[in-house]
Structure 1
Amino acid sequence: MQVTSVGHAGFHIQTAAGSILCDPWVNPAYFASWVPFPDNSELDWRMLGDCDYLYVSHLHRDHFDERNLRENVNKDATVLLPDYPVPDLRRELERLGFHRFVETEDSVKTTVTNEKGSLDVMIIALRAPADGPIGDSGLIVGDGETTAFNMNDARPVDLDVIGEAFGHIDIHLLQYSGAIWYPMVYDIPKRSKANFAAQKRQRGMDRARSYIEQVGATWVVPSAGPPMFLDADLRYLNDVGDTDDQGRATSIFPDQATFLDQMVTHGTDDGTKHRGLMMVSGSSVELRGSELLEINHPYPPEEVFGENKPAYLDRMAEKFAPVIAAQKETWAPAEGEPLLEPLRELFEPIMRQSDLICDGIGYPVGLVMGEQTVVLDFPNRTVREPKDGEGKYRYGFRIAPELVRTVLRDNEPDWVNTIFLSTRFTTWRIGGYNEYLYTFFKCLTDERIAYADGWFSEAHDDSASIVKDGWELQRRCPHLKADLSKFGVIEGEKLTCNLHGWSWDLPSGRCLTSKGHELRAHRVES
């Protein structure tokens, strides 16, 4: 098996039984904020696109690149389709001309066959509304000799099914870096922001190392890493050595070299059990089972990392400036008719269909768009103008009107997958993170909101218990059902689930991260 990095979470997997192209992202995404790092625009995308199988893990724009899929990928390729309850991914691929699909069953191994031979594949499909835009997934593929697990940026809660179906994993491709806007866009003091960023950076790498330990693959490739932020307003987001007053790095976007160092520092790479591999866009590794036969790079990887990274980003900023400028020209103009009515037409029908989510949000939310402010009044299911003396809202967003007008023009069903991941906005909140609010912004269609509201309303079994560090607590995380025996970390009277970084006060069971989501726990008498 030959595994070639095509940038970010993208890989080309070549086997005797055919080739699989995974998550081929090349064009700047999220309002031209994200650009693949390192640069992958010079790869031969026509050749890569002449594949037997296509796997797109989910609809995030750094995985689903509409232009690249349309222009360069063979429409006769067989799509390995995750088992999602909302069929938006299939619809988008069909719209681009793909017509051959293997509809996999979540976490069930299946065999795909063509004239070249057979491959065993399994897709772990994550179905919670918080997973990507209505779904995220990871792919396991075995050719009878070598088994690869392309986890990209999925966060599976049950990894036992992989070992049961495939046995040992030879190469594990996984995310370790940030893919969020927190805390950079928040109106909080600079020192607090740096502290939160340092914590989030480390938590993401800790979670990745936990996955490495659980999967136990021979070879590990940090992928789905940071993008490049090349627009002048966003350059500060790149990881180029900025630290807080305690000397901790403060970018939530650590790069491959940083994570490989972490693996060594924390014993996840001891030279025998887990071995980290550096791969940049165009790097390829040849494997026979767990034996690494050869690894090749298009250039020495150190040219883009460490002390060479700032100069590399400068060159890329110059190269991509015309591309970013051209994308900005496609945005809607900032000026136009007042935004109240189009936002009312979009949001109010969704509010009326989502009692549980609206009640979970629980308060009015302000949208400040230049000189206009519109209030999303979730308790009353209305979109309105501010009331006299209403004051500052508990949660609010400042978004350039041209971005709002663009997503309205394009009938975007997901503001998270467009505005929020661009980091081209600012926000504030009083109190904890509100998962219901961001779920609402992901689900701006009848089908999506019906699924999300139903998902939240389902009862989840929390009857199983574990004992950990002197506490008896429910085994499954109240947030997204991660196994706390594997992902839970207890410090004093505080539990943190490393899958998503949510925390609880153990004596009270109160969630410290968001509203609701109480944990069942009590201290075990010694």
Structure 2
Amino acid sequence: MQITSIGHAGFHIQTAAGSILCDPWVNPAYFASWVPFPDNSDLDWKALGDCDYLYVSHLHRDHYDEQNLLENVNKDATVLLPDYPVPDLRRELERLGFTKFVETQDSTKHTVSGPKGDLDIMIIALRAPADGPIGDSGLVVDDGETVCFNMNDARPIDLDVIADEFGRVDVHLLQYSGAIWYPMVYDIPRKSKANFAMQKRQRGMDRARSYIEQVGATWVVPSAGPPMFLDDDLFGLNDFNTGSDADKASIFPDQAEFLEQMRTHGTDDGVKHRGLMMVSGSAADFAGDELREIVHPYPPETVFGENKKAYLEAMKEKFAPVIAAQKATWASPDGPSLLEPLREKFEPIMKQSDLICDGIGYPVGLVVGEETYVLDFPKRTVRMREDGDGKYRYGFRIAPELVRTVLRDDEPDWVNTIFLSTRFSTWRIGGYNEYLYTFFKCLTDERIAYADGWFSEAHDDSASIELDGWEIQRRCPHLKADLSKFGVIEGEKLTCNLHGWQWDLASGRCLTSKGHELRAQRAEP
């Protein structure tokens, strides 16, 4: 099996039974905020796109690159389709011209047959509303010699199925770096923001190391890493590897740092478990768990460490015209009031989502230019700010051109457009509101019906475990992760490392968001 990194979470997997192109992202995403790091724009995308199979893990724009798929990927390729509750991914790929699909079943081993032979695959599909835009996934490929688990940025809650079906994993490709807007966009003091960012940065790497230990692969390739932020307004979000406090306060560590973390924490023992550096264009040949050869397009150290800032400066100059061209496609910031377009977009969704609107529980402010609109979730209406409103518990400040663009384009997901761009600011009083961000990613009838139904289902929390002197429910109240694997207790505080949510064990109260209480008590001696 030959595995070639094509940038970010993207890989080209060549086997005797055919080639699989995974998550081929190259064009700047999220309002031109994210660019693949290291640069992959000079790869031969026509050759990469002449593949037998296509796997797009989910619809986030750093995985689903519409322009690249349309222009460069063979439409005769067979799509390996995750088992999602809402068929948006299939519809989007059909719209681009793909016609051949293998509809997989979640966490089920399949044999796909082509003219070149058979491959065993499994797609682990995550289907909670918090997973991507209604779905995220990871792909297992077995060519009869080598087993590769391309986890990209999925967060599976049960990995035992891989060992049950495949016996082992030889190569593990996984995310370790931040992919969120928190805490950079929040209106909080600089020192607090830096502290929260350092915690977020370390938590992401801790979670990745937990996955490494659970999967137990011989080779680990850090992937789905940090993007490059090359626009002037966002350039400071990069980790420049200078060792400064500003770097430590970036949630975007790079591959070199994570490989060092693996060595420091013993996840890379140099024998049974080994980290492997790959940059865009690196090609590694595996036979089982043996790495026969790896070829890099350039020495990887030229883009990391003390060379990284100069590299990013050069990329900033290279991509300036590309980013300018994307900005030229945005809607004009000027125009009539957005009240009616916002009503037409949001109110029908509000009226279909009682559980989510009640979960949000309060009006939310949306400041667009000089106007403040109010998403009044308790009343299921959108209105202008009123004199007696006071301070909103949650609010967003978004440039008019961004809001007008997503309304013009009838975007079903503001998380996958505005929020991941980090081109906004926000504030909140109290904890994170999961229902609110679920609402913003479910702006279609199908999505909101599924999400509202998902939250309304009763989940079994009857099983218990003992952990560091506490008896607690086994499944996390957030997204049902196994706390025997992801739970970490410090004093009387439990952290679930899957998403970083926390609980006070003495009371069971969730410290991250309202609701989501945990069943916990001191274990009997």
Mark the runs of 5 or more structure 2 residues left unpaired by the alignment.
Answer: none
1:91 corresponds in structure 2 to: 91
Q: Do structure 1's residue 3 and structure 2's residue 19 form an aligned pair?
A: no
Equivalent residue for 2:337?
338
> Hey, what does 1:41 align to over in structure 2?
41
- Counterpart residue number, 1:419: 418
Aligned to 2:182: 182
Report the counterpart of residue 129 of structure 1 in structure 2.
129
Q: AA paired with 2:153?
A: D
Matches within 5 A, 1:145-184: 145-184=145-184
CA distance in 1 between partners of 2:111 and 2:68 (Å): 28
In 2, the alpha carbon distance for the partners of 1:302 and 1:501 equals 31
Match runs of 1:209-220 below 5 Å: 209-220=209-220
The structural deviation recorded for 1:485 is 0.1
* Percent identical: 83
Alpha-carbon contact 1:243-1:250 (below 8 Å) kept: no
Residue 335 of structure 1 deviates from its aligned partner by 0.3
- Report the AA paired with residue 333 of structure 2: A
- Structure 1 counterpart of 2:49, one-letter code: G
1:318-329 equivalences in 2 (<5 Å): 318-329=317-328
Query: What is aligned with 1:288?
Result: 287
Secondary structure in structure 2 of the residue aligned to 1:413: coil
Looking at structure 2, the residues matched to 322 and 191 of structure 1 have their Cα atoms a distance apart, in angstroms, of 35
What is the alpha-carbon distance in structure 1 between the residues aligned to residue 169 and residue 487 of structure 2? 24
Matched position secondary structure for 1:27: coil
Could you tell me which residue of structure 2 aligns to residue 463 of structure 1?
A: 462
Q: Name the SS of the counterpart of 2:248 in structure 1.
A: coil
Counterpart secondary structure, 2:191: helix
Assess if the C-alpha contact under 8 Å between 1:194 and 1:244 holds in 2: no
Residues 308 and 243 (structure 1), Cα distance of their counterparts in 2 relative to 1, 3 Å cut: closer
Tell me the amino acid that sits aligned with residue 156 of structure 1. P
1:296-319 Cα shifts (integer Å, max 9, x gaps): 000000000011000000100000
Superposed CA offset, 1:241-288 (max 9, x none): 47786x981110000000000000000001112100000000010000
Shift of 1:389: 3.0
In the alignment, structure 1 segments of 5+ residues that lack a partner are none
User: Contact 1:242 / 1:250 at 8 angstroms: preserved in 2?
Assistant: no
Deviation at 1:114? 0.7
Distance (Å, rounded) in 1 between the aligned partners of 2:17 and 2:241? 44
Instruction: State the match for 2:441 in structure 1.
Output: 442
Which residue does 2:398 correspond to in 1? Answer: 399
Provide the C-alpha distance between the structure 1 equivalents of 2:145 and 2:516, rounded to a whole number of angstroms: 44
Instruction: Say if 1:242 and 1:249, in contact at 8 Å, map to a contact too.
Output: no
The 1-side partners of 2:219 and 2:242 are apart by 30
Aligned to 2:71: 71
4+ residue runs over 2 A deviation: 241-245
Q: Measure how far apart 1:182 and its partner are.
A: 0.2
- Counterpart for residue 300 of structure 1: 299
Residue 226 (1) aligns with residue 223 (2) = no
Provide the alpha-carbon RMSD of the alignment. 0.9
Counterpart-to-counterpart distance in 2, 1:342 and 1:511: 36
Q: Is the CA contact (8 Å cut-off) linking 2:241 and 2:309 kept in structure 1?
A: no
> Conserved in 1, the CA contact under 8 Å of 2:241 and 2:308?
no
**Is 1:511–2:510 an aligned residue pair?**
yes
Secondary structure of the corresponding residue to residue 233 of structure 2: helix
CA contact (8 A) 2:492 2:504 kept: yes
Distance 1:241 1:57 in 2: 30
The one-letter code matched in structure 1 to 2:208 is A
Name the TM-score, length of structure 1 as normaliser.
0.99
1:204 counterpart residue number: 204
Contact 1:57 1:137 in 2 (8 A): yes
- Does 2:270 align with 1:271? yes
* Equivalent residue number for residue 236 of structure 2: 236
The structure-2 alpha-carbon separation of the partners of 1:157 and 1:76, relative to structure 1 and needing over 3 Å to count, comes to: same
Q: 2: distance between equivalents of 1:68 and 1:315?
A: 23
In structure 1, give the amino acid aligned to 2:449: A
Name the residue aligned to 2:360. 361
Matches of 1:165 and 1:236, distance apart in 2: 45
Aligned equivalents of 1:404 and 1:31: distance in 2?
11
Letter in 1 for 2:374: V
- Take 2:273 and 2:369, find their aligned partners in 1: how far apart are those partners? 51
- Partners of 2:89 and 2:524 lie apart in 1 by 50
Whether the 8 Å contact between 1:198 and 1:248 is mirrored in structure 2 is no
